[in-house]
């Protein structure tokens, strides 16, 4: 059995990891679910994704189940107070603050009658999902990342954006021939 397949088999024995595997790559349209998925990809930057998946309940508690309006309204003092109640959360201030910043941007988009999913799809070429070799999707993720940053999103580098779009079914990487 290939090393990657062994890892997936092992992950599927853990209920939280199995649930994450089951959801990864499936289309999402709900604003709060999209916001959660983006946030989780941000938290996972530089870490093993398994670490973040196992801490999902704590992050959901900290950020009001990723209710965009509630998170956008959080003050720095409220965040600091909330973090104290969730010891399982990784205390990366930049990533936690990015969650509030991104909620504020998503709230602003929806106030202008643009849903988060419509915003994301507006950044993609026609024809969804976007399929192609991983290298082409990586190039597209660079462009999308730049636009998201211009629009006010935080901690949305190309790698994070690519995995996020993979995870919500907008990118469909195709295996390249050896």
pLDDT in tens, 88-131: 999 999 999 999 999 999 999 999 889 999 999 999 987 667 77
**Residues 30-59: b if buried by 16+ CB within 10 A, e if exposed:** ebbebbbbbbbbbbbbeeebbebbebbebb
Pairing mode, strands 171-174 and 130-133: parallel
Whether 172 contacts 30, CB under 8 Å: no
Residue of higher predicted confidence among 25 and 71: 71
> How confident is the model over 72-84, as a mean pLDDT?
95
pTM, two decimal places = 0.85
Q: pLDDT tens-digit profile of 119-148?
A: 999 999 876 677 776 777 888 899 999 999
- In this structure, what token pair is assigned to residue 9? 């088999």
Q: What is the pLDDT of residue 6?
A: 47
Helix (H) or strand (E) holding 122, with range, is helix 116-122
Q: Is 127 helix (H, G, I), strand (E, B) or coil?
A: coil
For the chain, the average pLDDT equals 86
Domains and CATH numbers, the chain: 3-174 (1.10.340.30)
**Which pLDDT belongs to residue 41?**
94
| Closest listed residue to residue 23, CA positions, set 144, 178, 169 | 169
Residue 85 marked ligand-binding:
no
pLDDT digits (tens, 9 = 90+) for 143-170: 999 999 999 999 999 999 999 998 898 8
Provide the percentage of residues in the chain whose pLDDT is more than 90.
60
Rounded Cα distance between 151 and 147, Å, is: 6
Q: Which two three-digit tokens encode residue 171? A: 């990118």
């Amino acid at each position: 059995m290939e090393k990657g397949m062994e890892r997936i088999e092992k992950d599927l024995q853990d209920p939280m990891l199995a649930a994450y595997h089951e959801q990864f790559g499936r289309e999402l349209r709900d604003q709060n679910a999209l916001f959660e998925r983006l946030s989780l990809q941000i938290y996972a930057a530089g870490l093993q994704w398994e670490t973040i998946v196992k801490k999902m309940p704590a992050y959901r508690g900290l950020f009001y189940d990723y209710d965009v309006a509630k998170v956008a309204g959080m003050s720095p003092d409220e965040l600091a107070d909330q973090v104290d109640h969730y010891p399982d959360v990784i205390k990366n201030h930049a990533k936690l603050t990015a969650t509030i910043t991104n909620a504020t941007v998503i709230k602003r988009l929806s106030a202008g009658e643009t849903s988060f999913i419509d915003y994301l799809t507006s950044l993609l070429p026609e024809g969804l999902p976007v399929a192609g070799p991983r290298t082409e999707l990586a190039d597209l993720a660079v462009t999308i990342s730049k636009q998201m940053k211009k629009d006010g999103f935080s901690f949305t580098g190309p790698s994070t954006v690519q995995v996020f779009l993979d995870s919500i079914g907008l990118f469909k990487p195709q295996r390249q021939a050896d």
